Chain A
C-alpha cells in the first residue's frame, strides 16, 4: 500500500468534482491506478487520450509508483 497525491485537470476535474486528492492504493503503475480511478469517478476518457506525469515529468503509464509520488493526469485542452 502506497499513498500518492493526485491532480486532475480539465474533464477529469469536472468528473471527479475536485482538482486533486490523496489516495492509498495497491496500484503499482499509473495505468493500474487510472483503471481503479475510472471505476470510482466514472472518468469517460480512455487512458490513451491522456498524458500522465509523475513528480513534474511526463512519463510512461508503466512507470513504477512510489510512496509520496505526485501524479498528474492531463487531457488535451481545446478552448481559446
Chain B
C-alpha cells in the first residue's frame, strides 16, 4: 500500500491507520502536522490551504515512490488537507508501517520532509488582527534540520506565458513545450555562468529549476552576474535568483539548496532530469561529475578563465566519458586559477553560460548537441574554438571505469553512506556493482542469486581477502543486516568500495 492524496475533509486517522495493517509488519510510525496559533510572531486565527491539486498528486506519489526505493518493503500513506482549517486541526498526516521500527521512523521522517519541501501548497493565514497573507508552506521548515534550505516560490495568478516564438520552431512545437514544462533541472551556482542559464531556462518554461548556491551577492559580481543589481548586494544569490525567475516566468517553480553535501548528491541528482554545473569551485565540479556518473544523470559543465572557456557534456547513460576521464584526480588549487585571482571579462561567463542553457534546452527537447566525447574550448580573444576528442580508453576505462572511479572518490570524501539502494539486482549490476551474496549455504537454495559471488559473512569477517579484489562490490543478504555489518567491517579495515544493499533481497521489487 503506497498512497498519497489531497483531501478537503477532516482526516480520519483510525481508518488511515487501518490501511497500513500488514501481517508482515511489526512497526508503525505516524506524523501529524497541526495548525499553530502563531507564525513569525503574529497570532493566527486559522488558515486556508491552497493546493495545486494535479501537481501535488503527481509530486506526492513521486515522494511515496522515492520512499519505497529508499526504505524497501514499507507501506505508507500521506494525506494533505486543502481548504479552511482552524487552530489545532490536522493539516497533514503521514503513516508508515514496516517489518521493523527503524525503517518506519526513517521513512516517515523522509516523507513529511519531502512533502513540506516539494508539494505545491500555499497557506493563507488569517491573522487575529483581521488581515491575511499568503505564505509558501515550504518557508516554514520549523521541524526539519537539513543543512541546506529548500524553498518554493509561488506564481502570482493571472500571468500566461507566451511561448509562441519558440513553439514555432521545427523541433519544438506543442510537444516540445510540454517536455520543457515537465522537465526538472538543477543548476549549481547562480553566478556568472548560472545567470544566463537560469534566465533562459526560466524564460523557456522549464517546469522546475533547482538552484544551489550558498554565496551572497558582492559588488564585484555585478559586471558578469546579470541576474543581480546593486540593490541586491549582501543578499543570498539563490534567493534573489528565484525572485528574478518568478519575475521572468511565474509559472516556473524553483527549489533552493545551499551547498550540496557529498552524501546527498546522488539522491538529489536522481530527482532531476539534468544538472547544469555553473560554480567557480573545482571540487564542486568533481562532486557533480561523480554524482552524475553514479546516478545516471546528464551533466553540463562549463568553466571560464579571463577571455576563454571550456564546456563538457557528460552523458553517463550513453556511456560517455566523465570529468575524471580527462582529469583523474582533482587538480591542485594552484593549477587552476579562479576569476578572483586572474580576472574575467563579463561576457565570457555570459557566453559560456548561454551555451550551457542552449545545450540544456536542446537536450530536453531531444535536439542535437555538444558531442559528449569532446571538450569544447572557446577562445574569446580571437573567437576560435577547438573541439578536442577525449581519450576515453586511457581515461577511467584504464582504471576500472567511470562508476568505479566515482565510487572511490565519493567514498574518499568521507561523508559517504555505506548503502546503495537498488530496486532490482539487475539495476545494481548495470550500475557497475559486483554482487556478493553473504548468506549461508542453506539460505541460498531457497532464494538463489546465480549472478553473485558467494562469501558467507563469517568468512568475510575472518578475512576481507575472501572478497573479489575488483570493486565496487555490493553485499547482499536477506534483510540487509548482515550485508551492512560486512560492509562496515570492510570500511573499517580500509577498503572504500564495498557497499550494502539496504533491505536486502526482501526489499527488492522483483
Contact = CB atoms under 8 A, between A and B. Distances in A.
Interface of A: 7, 9-11, 13-14, 19, 45, 49, 51, 53, 56-60, 72, 74-80
Nearest to A7: B386
Interface in B326-345: 326-327, 331-332, 335-339, 342, 344
Interface residues of B, number: 43
B193 A53 contact: no
A10 to B, nearest CB: 5
B306 interface: yes
A80 B279 contact: yes
Contact of A72 (B339, B381, B388): B388
B303 interface: yes
20 contacts: A11-B337, A11-B342, A14-B342, A19-B382, A51-B327, A56-B387, A57-B391, A58-B388, A72-B377, A72-B386, A74-B375, A74-B388, A76-B327, A77-B308, A78-B282, A78-B303, A78-B338, A79-B338, A80-B193, A80-B303
Given A49-B332, A56-B389, A58-B326, A80 B192 contact: yes
Nearest to A10: B305
B339 A80 contact: yes
Q: Which 4 A-B pairs have CB atoms at the shortest separation, nearest pair first?
A: A80-B280, A49-B335, A79-B339, A78-B336
B310 interface: yes
Interface string B350-386: 0000000000000000000000000101010110101
A10 B308 contact: yes
B30 interface: no
A49 B329 CA distance: 10
B304 interface: yes
A76 B335 CA distance: 7
Given A74-B388, A78-B338, A51 B326 contact: yes
A74 B309 CA distance: 11
Contacts of B336: 75-78
B391 A77 contact: no
The winner among B192, B310, B336, B389 for most chain A CB atoms within 10 A is B336
B250 interface: no
Contacts of B471: none
Contact of B337 (A10, A51, A53, A80): A10
Contacts of B432: none
A59 B395 CA distance: 10
Interface in B92-115: none
B281 to A, nearest CB: 7
Contacts of A13: 306, 308
B120 interface: no
B74 to A, nearest CB: 40
Contacts of B391: 57-60
Given A78-B303, A80-B304, A45 B335 contact: yes
Contacts of B384: 19
Contacts of A11: 305, 337, 342
B15 interface: no
